[in-house]
Structures are given as structure tokens and as C-alpha cells.
Structure 1
Amino acid sequence: MEHALIIGASGGIGAALADHLAQSHKVTRLSRSADGLDITDPASVARHLDGLAPVDIAFVATGILAPDGAQPEKALDAIDAGDMARTFAVNAIGPALLLAGLAPHLTDTARVGVLTARVGSIGDNRMGGWYSYRAAKAAANQITHTAAIEIGRKRKQSVVVSLHPGTVETPFTQGYKAPKVSASEAAANLVGVLTALTPADTGGFFDYAGERIEW
């Protein structure tokens, strides 16, 4: 049975991904709340990823919209250096550390999806605002793209991509007016997209329907 790894498995999307993949895979679930994994701490990442069985499919489903008690900035004068640093630590440095720790454990045909967000697209940004979140997700996209190149040199049949899950019904999106899908539906969509991609797609940025998103 193939091995799936879900990092961020206590969150709405992460839990749904783990449950969906458990129907066909042996699943390892990792999260801060259940396992004490701190994705911003290299020692914590190494401790939790060392000794992993070979991974066939992995999702990095971690992230914050803003630090506790803060909100995404609507204007330049709302930027707080400490809040921005924390947003980058979780949304960009965290995925970088996770990809570094995960890379040695990937099978030759592994599929890795890093959940970022459409608002991380520079080309698609027409509304402004959300400086820290947008910039951190853009950084995560660059990190994922770069990691895909490196991982692909050794594992030529691998796929490493950024994925936009859409607006999902979770505590993270409470108050959003945009149409939402259930976490279980989002999970099925994301697994379907990731497993359908080919090595020619590695390093790309895709939405929940498998459509490319501009950088």
C-alpha cells in the first residue's frame, strides 16, 4: 500500500485530505496540535520527519492568514513588522523547511502538493491589500518551484507543485462572502489534481480544477 503524508492534518483541509487518502493509502498525519510539530523550527521538523517510511504522496496543508490577534493588512500603514515576520515564518519558511526534510524520503514517482493560495499570484493581484499574506504565499510558490527543480534532478518522475484549494468551509474562512466548498470536496479535488499531473507539470501552480495559475 502506498504511503501518504499529510502535514497540517489537524486543520480543516488537512484532516479531510488525510481521511480521503486513508481509503487507499497508509496515512501518516502530522500537526502542531497533535504532535507538537513546529514547522518554523528546524529541529522540530527534523525530529518529526526523520525515519519516515518512503512517501508516495504528500500534502503540506499548513499556514496562517495572520498571527493570533491580527488581521490581514488593508493598507501600507497597517503593516506591522513583527506580524509580517510571523506570517512569513509560517507560510514561507515553514514549507521550505518541510520540503528540505521531506525530500530524502520521497519515492522516485512521488507527488507533493504545497497548499498556497491564488492571492499569492502577483499577476492576478488586482485588489491590493493583504501585504504579508500575499507576499508570503508568493514566496512559498517560489520555494516550491525551486524545490521541484532540485528534487526533479534526482527523481525525474516526481511532481512537486503549488496548489490553490479554493475557498473551503473551515474556521479559516469564516466571514468570507465567496462561495465555499466543503473540506471533503476540496480534498477530493486536490488529490485528483495532484495525481493527474505529470512530471512535465512539476514546479507549476494549479488550482483545485487543475487549471494553471499565473505567477
Structure 2
Amino acid sequence: MASNCLRMKHALIIGASGGIGAAIARTLSQTHCLTEISRSQTGLDVTDPDSVAAALDPVVAPVDLAFVATGILAPEGQAPEKTLDAIDAHAMAQTFAVNAIGPALILRALAPKLSETARVGVLTARVGSIGDNRMGGWYSYRAAKAAANQITHGAAIEIGRKRKGAVVVALHPGTVETPFTEGYKAKKVSADQAAANLIDVLGRLTPEHSGGFFDYAGEEIPW
């Protein structure tokens, strides 16, 4: 870590070139020493264990704040399935590789580098909630995000055994104005507003909340 960062908390943004990740980085740039990792910036491939290790190994500990802001709605050229008939095994595997296995590999590499009171937010999605699913469809994306929620929950338990003051949670950012949601009909917020919301929520949570699933307003979402 650079000498001018020694008096600042260390924030790690994984997926820092995406809409939300970039906005989080911009917001934290004045208050934290930043490490930014992404496919376009550092060549990160979250589906490749060697790539994840190569990207995370040089990160200087301790990490005080981390956001995992990686993910895809569907593989390039495809869209979330509206029906069972639309399920494609290869596309589903790709969606799981990025949205579930990717965060697992990142958390594995990140855990030893966390400070005793680290805050870690893994961006998932409300549609990953089984209890809140009343519309069906989006099989691969929903299931992969539900898996990411379970991985985050398990990681929070394990990390909490050694770092009693840590908070590791799954976060739903809302529908954000990014290329990721282009064409999606819903009320959206700007990436900068979403970033501010997520940083605020993660800062307000305590170790008792670790392992939970929260939205951009700090409200708990059912599993």
C-alpha cells in the first residue's frame, strides 16, 4: 500500500469497471486507499481460479472494506429465461460460473486479507430470494444469485469465527442505470446513488447482521 494511504482505510473494489463498481470506487476515492480489480483493468476472470488468485494475491492486507460487484444477467447474446423451455444447460452453467462460483473464489482469496472489523458486501439481487419469488422465470439468474447468497452466508460464519468484528453480507443494490439493466422496464436509480446507498448500509450494519441479505435501504430480504 502506498505511503500516502497508511493513514487511510483500505477499500477493495472487485468489479471496479462495471457501472456500480466504478461508482463505488468514485465515492470512496476521497476517503479510502483504493485497490480496484476488474476484467478490463487487471484481466480478472472470476470463473478461473488461477486468475482470481493472481488478482487477489498482491492485494495488501488488511482490507477494511470490500465490495464484490461482479456478475452477468445472462451470457452475451442471451437473455434470462422466461420459461422452462428456454433453459439452456451451457448458458445456465456460464451464469452460475460468473454469479455464484466467482464470488466463492473471490471470498476464498479475500478472507485471509480482511481486517478484524472488515465490512464486505457481495452484490447479489432481490430476485435471488426464494421467499420473494412470486413471478417465476429467470431460472439461471435467480438460482445463481440464490447460490451466491448461500455462499456469502457460509463465508460470513467462517470469517466471523476468526474476526468477531467483521460484517459479511449479501446486498441488493436496486435497479441501477447501467448497461446491465438496459432495456429493463423498472424504476431505476443512478449508479452514483446506488453506490452511496450501499456504502451507507454496509457502514451501518454490525456483526450481529453478518451473514444477512439486505437491500439498498438496509431492509432485510427473505431468503
Instruction: State the Cα distance separating 1:177 from its structure 2 match.
Output: 1.7
- Corresponding position of 1:170: 178
What amino acid is the match of 2:126? R
Give the secondary structure class of the aligned counterpart of 1:68.
Answer: coil
Q: How does 1:1-215 map to 2 (within 5 A)?
A: 1-53=8-60, 54-215=62-223
Q: Percent identity?
A: 77
CA drift at 1:43: 0.7
Q: Which TM-score applies when normalising by structure 2?
A: 0.96
TM-score (norm 1): 0.99
Q: CA deviation at 1:214?
A: 0.2
In structure 2, C-alpha distance between the alignment counterparts of 1:36 and 1:200, rounded to whole Å: 36
Count residues with an aligned counterpart. 215
Structure 1: gaps spanning 5 or more residues: none
What stretches of structure 2 of length at least 5 have no aligned partner?
1-7
Cα distance per residue 1:84-103 (max 9 Å; x no partner): 00000000000000000000
Measured in 1, the distance between the counterparts of 2:98 and 2:164 equals 29
More deviation, 170-179/200-209 = 170-179
- For residues 213 and 8 of structure 1, what CA distance do their matches in structure 2 show? 23
- The SS at the match of 2:214 is strand
Q: Distance in 2 between matches of 1:52 and 1:71?
A: 34
Deviates more, 1:82-91 or 1:42-51: 42-51
Secondary structure of the structure 1 residue equivalent to 2:70? coil
Q: Which amino acid aligns with 2:37?
A: L
Root mean square deviation of aligned Cα: 0.5
Q: How far apart in 2 are the matches of 1:70 and 1:173?
A: 13
Greater than 3 Å deviation, 4+ residue runs? none
Tell me which amino acid in the other structure corresponds to 1:49. L
Q: Distance in 2 between matches of 1:45 and 1:171?
A: 24
Q: Distance in 2 between matches of 1:2 and 1:77?
A: 49
Q: Secondary structure at the match of 1:166?
A: coil
